[in-house]
Amino acid sequence: MNKSPKKPSTSPTRAPKEKLHATSITVDKRGIVEGADPRSVARATALLESIARRKARITEDFYGLGDELRELRDKELYRKVYGFSSFDAFLEQRSVYSPTQARKLIAIVRGLSKKRALELGVEKAYAAVSLAKATPAADTADEIFDEGHKVGTKRPKDATVDDFEAAAKAARKRAKKSASEKLVTSAERARKKRRDAGLRALRAKLAAAGISARPASKAGGVVIALSWTMVEKLAKAD
């Protein structure tokens, strides 16, 4: 019995995985395809160099940008010159900058020297400023580096943005707990002061009534200790 011939497969073939370079392409030590059009090479090289320069300017200019934003805000030029009631509205309506990013850059300018901020970059600089603000000590972000404060378990220069943010979060949590404890302690002191005053007033009233007693404060209230002689005297008074 003759078998029917197999039909050709109609299922789509899988595309091969993309490779870094095509197998038929050879690149030189510069990473440029051998035999590439010189004009294309020149243009591509110029574009990459321009991108590198722009990236460098962004890194260097963010501190100056923050300083200018700070001046616009602190001197209220957004109101005096442009008539806006708030700095955020001015930034948004005039398409100057994102209010969130503007506050971040201003915080960096206020909390870090220019040299250190440029060394750290925007995100790490802001994380360092946030940590300094979260700690109870009156230190600055520069002092965290200069005085060798630990960021978690790491030296500041070795710490990542995540390390700074985690340390700031822990510092805020400790500060909140400390404030809560101080509030409780303050309330307890005020309550003790009121109770002591009440005891003194009670003793005075008992003495004025001719009752010799020793009122004492206990956990549940006040206990008045009377001698048996005083108890008998009070019974006779009835």
Measured distance CA(133)–CA(189) in Å, rounded = 30
Report percent pLDDT > 90 for the chain: 9
CA distances in angstroms from 71 to 62, 99, 133, 141, 147, listed in the order given: 14, 15, 21, 21, 30
- Output 60 or 158, whichever has higher pLDDT: 158
What is the predicted pLDDT for the residue at 18? 44
What is the predicted pLDDT for the residue at 21? 46
Domain coordinates in residue numbering, the chain = 36-111, 200-237
Report residue 12's pLDDT band, with 50, 70 and 90 as the boundaries: very low
Total Cβ atoms within 10 A of residue 224:
12
The amino acid sitting at 165 is: E
Measured distance CA(10)–CA(7) in Å, rounded = 9
* Contacts of residue 111, Cβ cutoff 8 Å, sequence gap at least 6: 128, 129, 132, 133, 140, 141, 142
What is the predicted pLDDT for the residue at 104? 92
Residues 60-66, mean pLDDT to the nearest whole number: 85
Measured distance CA(134)–CA(170) in Å, rounded = 9
C-beta separation of 148 from 155 below 8 A: yes
Diameter over CA atoms, the chain: 134
Residues 65-92, mean pLDDT to the nearest whole number: 88
Q: Which two tokens stand for residue 68?
A: 């200018």
- Across 15-19, 129-133, 230-234, least confident range: 15-19
